[in-house]
């Protein structure tokens, strides 16, 4: 069956299978090529006739993940200019008033797309929720600060896509008044930025942050240091005109070189403190304070404008940072002797390691390092944003604690995604061969319930009652303020540097 719906740019043909209809690679904005690569998004041109929407669309130019990450989650590259596109899964295009989930993918703001198999929206549509997956500009195209170009072009794309959803989702059976945005990693940081942005009022009504935080907004001067390094790598000036004259292959190569330099030499003097402390050495380009859509870090903005809060789920995995160090071989280099030096390079007082060691007496130095960086890069900023949001809006917090079957990765970054999407059969390179279906059933159902009526099924998180749902198998639990001693020690260690 190939149903047809009409969008603001023209008619599209989808495909129905097993009661779910999907429309793939639908442009929501014009192709950002040439000089337009560094300008604000524009409406997609209208087309005549019926456009086929049964294959995944193009992705933003990007280099493959490092080999260790590629082996776990795969890389993304579908060539083409029309990469500002959406995928839509719906249970019934002829329905009315269905709840809507809009997915914002992760990838450190330099990689990723809406076409990964683990992002397939079939299970959400099966359970009565329309799911929309969006692409946006990444890396140099989306987030480099360049003279003659607006900043945060990738965030502008996300807002543009949400406006497309508001104008078009009824044609797919959805309710534009019941939209929930959700994202992981860079996608979750985007969610925080969108909640705080003044331009997004009414575009969504609930939000879910998976493995992000609310502290990510680089200082503009620090971001210009990264742009200067990119320009030097290319032998040009850091202007939109010079960058716009280059093709995607040249931009990819420079982007990869600078990202590697930031990761291997996380020196705040070289890159600026906000790039290193907020990017964690993992991200070199990300949202930047621009006095427009990013007025400051999302948590700071939300504290100043509590009226912008929306009902929220926010959480992390228990062992986020292992994803970045264990398979890459970096964890093996962290010993009792090197741990203080490495922590200092991240702007952390190494004395904090003693607290974590006391709380985790059997942990190795590498495990201590990963626990500290998990809290620094994800958990602390998630809790801070949740507290700010909880002042005026219902807020739920979770931790995903089930450890993958793969050695030493634990409950690492990305691991919860196939459980949320109920796509664990497509994720065995990350989960191992025997992920618990019962856990996927539980967390997926919580996300469906939240998108439908705002109640995921566990008590609210407040500054007084830091209630956290621990998702695990064989059984989940609800606890209060897990590991408070560690988090308090980390905050002190950061403040003392």
Give the pLDDT score at 115: 97
**Per the domain annotation, does 117 fall within a domain?**
no
User: What is the mean pLDDT of the segment spanning 233-258?
Assistant: 91
pLDDT band at 321 (very low <50, low <70, confident <90, very high): very high
**Per the domain annotation, does 253 fall within a domain?**
no
User: For the chain, what is the largest distance between any 2 Cα atoms, rounded to a whole number of angstroms?
Assistant: 67
Please choose, from the candidates 23, 8, 25, 10, the residue with its C-alpha nearest in 3D space to the C-alpha of residue 91.
23
Task: Give whole-number Cα distances, 480 to 67, 371, 477, 493, in Å.
Answer: 38, 19, 10, 23
Handedness of CA 269, 273, 279, 284 (dihedral sign): negative
**Residue 98 dihedral angles phi and psi, to the nearest 5°:** -75, 145
User: What is the mean pLDDT of the segment spanning 335-353?
Assistant: 93
> Which among 75, 141, 185, 211 is annotated as catalytic?
185
| Alpha helix ranges (H) inside 39-121 | 67-73
Kindly give, in sequence order, each residue whose CB lies less than 8 Å from that of residue 93, ignoring residues fewer than 6 positions away: 3, 5, 14, 21, 171, 172, 173
Give the pLDDT score at 282: 78
The answer to whether 222 and 289 are in contact (CB under 8 A) is: no
**Per the domain annotation, does 208 fall within a domain?**
no
The answer to whether 28 and 53 are in contact (CB under 8 A) is: no
Q: Tens digit of pLDDT for each residue in 118-153?
A: 999 999 999 999 999 999 999 999 999 999 999 999
Please determine, for residue 382, whether its predicted confidence score (pLDDT) is greater than 80.
yes
Residue 331: which domain range?
A: 311-495
**Per the domain annotation, does 196 fall within a domain?**
no
Residue position matching structure tokens 């304070």: 289
Give the pLDDT score at 1: 75
Number of helical H runs and strand E runs in the chain: 20, 14
| Alpha helix ranges (H) inside 265-410 | 268-271, 273-279, 298-304, 322-325, 339-345, 352-359, 365-374, 380-390
Please choose, from the candidates 144, 174, 138, the residue with its C-alpha nearest in 3D space to the C-alpha of residue 158.
138
Give the pLDDT score at 332: 93
Distance from C-alpha of 457 to C-alpha of 446, rounded to nearest angstrom: 7
The answer to whether 443 and 123 are in contact (CB under 8 A) is: no
CATH of the domain at 317: 3.40.50.1820
Please determine, for residue 322, whether its predicted confidence score (pLDDT) is greater than 80.
yes
Share of the chain above pLDDT 90, in %: 87
Tokens linked to 139: 């890396």
**Per the domain annotation, does 365 fall within a domain?**
yes
Distance from C-alpha of 433 to C-alpha of 226, rounded to nearest angstrom: 41
Please determine, for residue 496, whether its predicted confidence score (pLDDT) is greater than 80.
no
User: What is the mean pLDDT of the segment spanning 416-443?
Assistant: 97
Give the pLDDT score at 40: 97
Which residues partner with 252 through β-bridges? none
The structural domain count of the chain equals 1
> Which among 295, 320, 367, 416 is annotated as catalytic?
320
Give the pLDDT score at 72: 95
The answer to whether 57 and 25 are in contact (CB under 8 A) is: yes
pTM exceeds 0.75, yes or no = yes
Question: Is 357 annotated in the active site?
Answer: no
Average pLDDT of the chain to the nearest whole number: 95
> Helix, strand, or coil here: 180?
strand
Share of the chain above pLDDT 70, in %: 100
Question: Is 413 annotated in the active site?
Answer: yes
Give the pLDDT score at 265: 83
Give the pLDDT score at 497: 62
**pLDDT-wise least confident of 5-9, 59-63, 199-203:** 59-63
Q: Tens digit of pLDDT for each residue in 74-108?
A: 999 899 999 999 999 999 999 999 999 999 999 99
The answer to whether 212 and 378 are in contact (CB under 8 A) is: yes
**Per the domain annotation, does 484 fall within a domain?**
yes
Burial grade of 485 (CB within 10 A; 0-12, 13-18, 19 or more): exposed
**Per the domain annotation, does 346 fall within a domain?**
yes
Please determine, for residue 351, whether its predicted confidence score (pLDDT) is greater than 70.
yes
**Per the domain annotation, does 126 fall within a domain?**
no
Please choose, from the candidates 56, 61, 111, the residue with its C-alpha nearest in 3D space to the C-alpha of residue 88.
56
Give the pLDDT score at 227: 94
> Which among 156, 413, 442, 486 is annotated as catalytic?
413
The answer to whether 42 and 97 are in contact (CB under 8 A) is: no
Distance from C-alpha of 66 to C-alpha of 195, rounded to nearest angstrom: 31
């Amino acid at each position: 069956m190939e149903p047809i719906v009409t969008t603001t740019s023209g008619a599209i043909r989808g495909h129905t299978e097993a009661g779910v209809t999907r429309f793939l690679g639908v442009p929501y904005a014009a192709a950002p090529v040439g000089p337009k690569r560094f300008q604000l998004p524009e409406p997609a041109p209208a087309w005549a006739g019926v456009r086929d929407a049964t294959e995944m669309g193009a992705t933003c130019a990007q280099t493959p993940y490092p080999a260790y990450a590629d082996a776990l989650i795969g890389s993304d590259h579908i060539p083409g200019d029309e990469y500002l596109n959406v995928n839509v899964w719906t249970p019934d295009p002829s329905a009315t008033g269905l709840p809507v989930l809009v997915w914002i993918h992760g990838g450190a703001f330099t990689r990723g797309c809406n076409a990964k198999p683990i992002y397939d929206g079939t299970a959400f549509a099966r359970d009565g929720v329309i799911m929309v997956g969006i692409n946006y500009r990444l890396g140099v195209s989306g987030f480099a600060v360049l003279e003659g170009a607006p900043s945060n072009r990738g965030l502008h794309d996300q807002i543009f896509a949400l406006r497309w959803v508001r104008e078009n989702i009824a044609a797919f059976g959805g309710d534009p008044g019941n939209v929930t945005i959700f994202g992981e990693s860079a996608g979750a940081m985007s969610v925080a930025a969108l909640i705080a942005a003044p331009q997004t009022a009414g575009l969504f009504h609930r939000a879910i942050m998976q493995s992000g935080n609310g502290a990510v907004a680089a200082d503009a001067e620090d971001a210009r240091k990264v742009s200067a390094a990119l320009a030097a790598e290319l032998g040009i000036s850091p202007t939109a005109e010079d960058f716009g004259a280059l093709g995607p292959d040249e931009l990819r190569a420079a982007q990869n070189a600078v990202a590697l330099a930031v990761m291997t030499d996380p020196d705040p003097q070289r890159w600026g403190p906000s790039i290193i402390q907020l990017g964690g050495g993992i991200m070199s380009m990300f949202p930047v304070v621009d006095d427009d859509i990013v007025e400051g870090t999302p948590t700071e903005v939300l504290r100043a404008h509590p009226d912008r809060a929306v009902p929220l789920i926010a959480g992390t995995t228990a062992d986020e940072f292992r994803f970045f160090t264990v398979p890459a071989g970096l964890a093996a280099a962290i010993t009792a002797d090197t741990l203080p030096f490495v922590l200092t390079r991240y702007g952390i007082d190494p004395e904090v390691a003693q607290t974590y060691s006391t709380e985790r007496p059997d942990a190795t130095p590498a495990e201590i390092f990963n626990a500290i960086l998990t809290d620094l890069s994800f958990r602390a900023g998630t809790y801070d944003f949740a507290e700010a949001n909880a002042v005026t809006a219902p807020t739920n917090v979770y931790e995903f604690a089930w450890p993958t079957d793969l050695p030493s990765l634990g409950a690492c970054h990305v691991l919860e995604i196939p459980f949320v999407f109920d796509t664990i059969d497509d994720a065995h390179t990350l989960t191992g061969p025997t992920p618990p279906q019962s856990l996927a059933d539980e967390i997926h159902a919580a996300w469906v319930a939240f998108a439908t009526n705002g109640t995921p099924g566990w008590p609210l998180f407040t500054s007084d009652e830091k209630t956290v749902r621990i998702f695990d198998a064989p059984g989940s639990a609800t606890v209060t303020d897990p590991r408070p001693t560690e988090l308090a020690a980390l905050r002190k260690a950061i403040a003392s540097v």
